[in-house]
């Protein structure tokens, strides 16, 4: 993992009156915005099912949270995303066993497979994630690729703050436009598959 605080000099060179904690706060805000809008921070979690077990937890990297689940694959087949209420309403037996073809996220961090698996098979979950609020940590590859975008976002947020020594509405608008362009580039790279995916594999079920 990289540290957002490593980018502080690129902010304080132009805004020396801004404190380091304030810089990190705004860099984190920019990182969360970029990751949630561009869906560029990808994570894959792989595990094996257990016969007769319907619910499975997945674990995210430290200091991150889920934006959304991109897909769930069971035995190399993509499962349809349902709500558990929909499964309960549309299928006569929510506890039915068989080969899963849908999944639901009952609670954050846990998916339920339907029908309940009857054999040990591989499941792969791909998620879009983002740093949690307040953390100084950021994926090292993303920070290397999009560090200037994060700096532009932080500068925009800072300059658009009202009533500060560093307030600069015109400059903030310029940096905001640069930030929006950077987020668009990050979105394009993610769609093209140019974003590295962090991975974790758990064998033998959960």
Q: What is the pLDDT of residue 205?
A: 47
Which domain covers residue 61, as residue numbers? 42-129
Total domains in the chain come to 2
Question: Does residue 204 belong to any structural domain of this protein?
Answer: no
Question: Does residue 200 belong to any structural domain of this protein?
Answer: no
Same domain, 106 and 153: no
Give me the helix-helix angle, 20-38 and 169-191, nearest 10°.
40
pLDDT < 50 stretches in the chain = 205-206
Q: Pairing relation of β-strands 102-107 and 110-114?
A: antiparallel
Same domain, 140 and 118: no
- Domain end (from 99, 129, 159): 129
- In this structure, is the dihedral angle defined by the CA atoms of residues 90, 92, 95 and 100, taken in order, positive or negative? negative
At residue 24, what are phi and psi to the nearest 5 degrees? -65, -40
Q: Scanning the structure block, which residue is given the tokens 């598959």? A: 193
Same domain, 121 and 146: no
Same domain, 49 and 123: yes
Question: Does residue 103 belong to any structural domain of this protein?
Answer: yes
pLDDT tens figures, 70-127:
999 999 999 999 998 898 888 878 889 999 999 999 888 999 999 999 999 999 999 9
Give CA–CA dist 128/98, Å, rounded. Answer: 29
Question: Does residue 205 belong to any structural domain of this protein?
Answer: no
């Amino acid at each position: 993992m990289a540290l957002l605080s490593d980018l502080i000099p690129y902010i304080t060179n132009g805004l020396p009156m801004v404190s380091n904690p304030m810089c990190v706060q705004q860099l984190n805000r920019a990182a969360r915005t970029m990751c949630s809008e561009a869906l560029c921070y990808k994570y894959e979690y792989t595990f094996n099912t257990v016969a007769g077990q319907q619910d499975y937890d997945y674990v995210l990297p430290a200091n991150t949270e889920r934006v959304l689940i991109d897909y769930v694959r069971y035995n190399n087949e993509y499962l349809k995303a349902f709500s558990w209420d929909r499964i309960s309403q549309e299928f006569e037996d929510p506890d039915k066993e068989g080969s899963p073809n849908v999944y639901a996220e009952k609670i954050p961090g846990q998916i339920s497979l339907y029908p309940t698996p009857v054999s040990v098979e591989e499941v792969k979950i791909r998620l879009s994630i983002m740093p949690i609020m307040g953390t100084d940590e950021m994926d090292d590859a993303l920070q290397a690729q999009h560090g200037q975008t994060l700096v532009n976002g932080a500068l925009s947020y800072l300059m658009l703050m009202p009533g500060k020594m560093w307030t600069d509405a015109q400059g903030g608008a310029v940096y905001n436009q640069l930030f929006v362009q950077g987020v668009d580039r990050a979105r394009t790279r993610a769609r093209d598959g140019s974003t590295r995916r962090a991975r974790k594999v758990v064998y033998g079920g959960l």
